[in-house]
Amino acid sequence: MMRILITVCTLFVALSAPLAAEKVEGYLMDKAWSARVAKEGVDAAKTHTKDCALMPNCKDSGYGVVTADGKFLKFDKDGDRVAARMLGFASGKDNIKATVNGEVKGSSIVVTAIQLN
């Protein structure tokens, strides 16, 4: 009985622990444009426009962040929704920098917050 209680308590603590949050800085953009960044380099991320990112096909491709080393981290579905909303409020037309908090899992990130810089 004691072993079961210890196992249940351990499982509860493990499941209630927050995700290991990381802070990632880079350029906010849609996944469709990220192929161009992969081909042309990070400078292509600087010229990506807000209007382009909000076009239906681009929006449907989902969003992510391009880091200084050219890596594209794809957002989860909730991150996609937040990114679309944030892009609507972005004051500039291009060069949209953001700080993204979340858990990086390979080439994607489970977003907990996005802040435009």
Q: Look up residue 103 and give its two tokens.
A: 């858990």
The domain in which residue 88 lies consists of 20-116
pTM of the complete model beyond 0.85: no
5 or 109: whose pLDDT is higher? 109
Share of the chain above pLDDT 90, in %: 59
The verdict on residue 15 lying in a domain is no
Window from 14-23, 65-74, 103-112 with minimum mean pLDDT:
14-23
Measured CA to CA in angstroms, residue 12 lies from 5, 17, 19 at distances of 11, 9, 14
CA 70 to chain centre: 14
28 bridge partner residues: 65
3 confidence band (pLDDT: 50, 70, 90)? very low
**Domain count within the chain:** 1
The amino acid sitting at 72 is: F
CATH of the domain at 95: 2.40.50
Over residues 76-99, mean pLDDT: 92
